[in-house]
A and B are shown apart, each in its own frame.
Chain A
Amino acid sequence: MKKIEVLGTGCKKCVTTAEQIESVAGKLGIEIEVEKVTDPAAIMGYKVMSTPAVAIDGKLVHSGSVPDSGKIEAMLKA
Chain B
Amino acid sequence: MLEVFTWLADWLVYGVAGLNPESKLGTSLHFFVEDTTKIFALLVVMIYVIALMRASLDLERVRHYIQQKNRFAGYGLGAGFGAITPFCSCSSIPLFLGFTSAGIPLGITMAFLFTSPIINEVAVIMLWSLLGWEFTLVYIAIGMGVGIGGGMILDALKGERWLKDFAAKAYQQAAEAPLSDEPAPEAPTLTMKDRHTFAWNELKEIVERIWKWVIIGVGLGAALHGFVPDGWFADNLGSGQWWNVPVAVLAGLPLYSNATGVIPVMESLILKGLPVGTTLAFCMSTVAASFPEFIMLKQVMKWRLLAIIFVILLVNFMIVGWVINLLSPWLFSGFH
Interface residues of A (CB under 8 A from B): 7-14, 40-41, 43-44, 47-51, 53, 64-65
Contact = CB atoms under 8 A, between A and B. Distances in A.
Interface of B: 58-60, 63, 88, 90-91, 93-95, 97-99, 101, 166-167, 170, 201, 296, 299-300
Nearest to B198: A65
Nearest to A46: B94
A40 B93 contact: yes
The interface residues of chain B, by DSSP majority, are classed as helix
17 contacts: A8-B94, A9-B93, A9-B296, A11-B90, A13-B90, A14-B90, A41-B166, A43-B93, A43-B97, A44-B166, A44-B170, A47-B98, A47-B101, A49-B91, A49-B97, A50-B91, A51-B90
A42 B94 CA distance: 10
Contact of A50 (B95, B201, B296): B95
A7 B95 CA distance: 13
B182 to A, nearest CB: 13
A9 B94 contact: yes
> Closest 6 A-B residue pairs measured CB to CB?
A11-B90, A49-B98, A44-B97, A49-B59, A41-B166, A9-B93
A75 to B, nearest CB: 18
A40 B97 contact: yes
A49 to B, nearest CB: 4
Given A40-B299, A44-B101, A49 B94 contact: yes
A44 B94 contact: yes
B90 A44 contact: no
B299 A9 contact: yes
Contacts of B91: 9, 49-51
A49 B88 contact: no
B90 A43 contact: no
A48 B166 contact: no
A51 B91 CA distance: 6
A49 B166 contact: no
Contacts of B101: 44, 47
A50 B61 CA distance: 12
Given A9-B93, A47-B98, 10 more contacts: A9-B296, A13-B90, A14-B90, A44-B94, A44-B98, A44-B101, A48-B98, A49-B91, A49-B97, A51-B91
A40 B94 contact: yes
Given A11-B88, A40-B97, A50 B59 contact: yes
Nearest to B62: A49
Among A8, A48, A50, A65: residue with most chain B CB under 10 A: A50
B90 A40 contact: no
Nearest to B202: A65
Contacts of B93: 9, 40, 43
Contacts of A50: 58-59, 91, 94-95
A28 to B, nearest CB: 23
A49 B63 contact: yes
Nearest to A53: B94
Contact of B90 (A10, A49, A64): A10
Contacts of A41: 166
A65 B202 CA distance: 10
Contact of A48 (B88, B94, B99, B167): B94
A72 B91 CA distance: 21
A64 B300 CA distance: 20
Contacts of A51: 90-91, 94
